[in-house]
Amino acid sequence: MKTVLVTGATDGIGLETARQLLAAGMHLLVHGRNEAKAVRQAKALASRVSGGKTTPVWGDLSRMREVASLAEQVRAIAPVLNVLINNAGIYVQRRAITEDGFEMTMAVNHFATYLLTRLVGPLVSKAPAGRIVTVSSMAHQSGDIDLDDLTFANGFDAYSAYATSKLANILFTRALATRLAGNNVTANCLHPGVIDTKLLHAGFSIKGASVEKGARTSVYLATSDKVIGVNGKYFADCRETAPSSQARDDSLAEALWLISERLLTSFLQS
């Protein structure tokens, strides 16, 4: 039975992704922001879907110490992690700085993704063909990364911050894929569609497509034989597509990786 970690698996696209993978016979590590939410949803999934197995894991992704704790939980449960799906994401209306000094949107959407991937990456590398899947967005096309101002101190706009964090997801995937080249692990990212979730309502106040559609590309990248060996690519509607020109800037991707590594050094060494 393959083991899969889905972050943000207690509602929206993450929950539906977990449901589909559970139905496919996977062992799902169901991540929630806190223990109560993770336990409740893991039990609910197990009661509704047959074929796989659920185990709750938890951690507030805006707090890097809790991201590290989440990684410790995963290590204790799973000696091998076949798939990591970095699904969790937020959209906030006002600029807020976390206890670690990060802007909230970037903390959850980028820095937590970077840190968790680095910390559980060795478990993924133990799988015969490990996969790392990160949920980005077509909103990345409006993103613009200023490496000297990742906290948006020079001006905060909610949509721009979200778009920049989604651009960071693609750049992170490209830099990670470079490091995985020739390895047994691949890293890819995706746009899930405009999906009817709490995040969509919070950021855009519009209706979207079903969560079933929103989970489709994540599940495809996690399971399909068609993407065996595909590495460092961006997908939409289960098809490889080209992201923005800035998202294809490998020098920017490398610079963002190195800055993220430096800012997270204390957690990477713990």
Residues marked as catalytic:
162
Return the residue matching tokens 């490091």.
179
Is 49 within 8 Å of 23 (Cβ atoms)?
yes
CA triple 40-42-47, angle to 5 deg: 95
Q: Structure tokens of 75?
A: 């290590």
- DSSP letters, 8-67, are TTTSHHHHHHHHHHHHTT-EEEEEESSHHHHHHHHHHHHHH--SSEEEEEE--TTSHHHH
Query: Phi and psi at residue 206, in whole multiples of 5°?
Result: -130, 165
Q: How far apart are CA 4 and CA 232, in angstroms?
A: 20
Q: How far apart are CA 22 and CA 203, in angstroms?
A: 29
How many C-beta atoms surround the C-beta of residue 176 within 10 A?
25
